[in-house]
């Protein structure tokens, strides 16, 4: 089993506390930025395909 380092960030906005937990995988093949970019571009392509159909 791979060992992960977990980072916790807390942010208060108004009366709400947001807790963000993030971890880094040593086996990841792409960064979070690359993954989000790929997902957004794929979604745009899918939306354009739906408009043409």
| Residue 21, domain member (yes or no) | no
| Residue 7, domain member (yes or no) | no
Tens of pLDDT along the chain (53 residues) come to 667 788 999 999 999 999 999 988 888 899 889 999 999 999 999 988 887 76
pLDDT at residue 53, as a whole number:
67
pLDDT at residue 44, as a whole number:
92
* Number of domains the chain contains: 1
| Residue 35, domain member (yes or no) | yes
| Residue 42, domain member (yes or no) | yes
Degrees to nearest 5, angle at CA 17 with 13 and 18: 90
Look up residue 14 and give its DSSP letter: T
How far, in Å, CA of 42 to CA of 4, rounded? 29
Q: Residue 52 sits in which domain range? A: 28-53
| Residue 50, domain member (yes or no) | yes
């Amino acid at each position: 089993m791979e060992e992960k380092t977990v980072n916790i960030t807390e942010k208060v906005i108004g009366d709400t506390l947001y807790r963000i937990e993030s971890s880094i995988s040593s086996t990841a093949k792409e960064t979070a930025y690359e993954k989000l970019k790929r997902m957004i571009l794929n979604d745009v392509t899918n939306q354009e395909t739906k408009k043409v159909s």
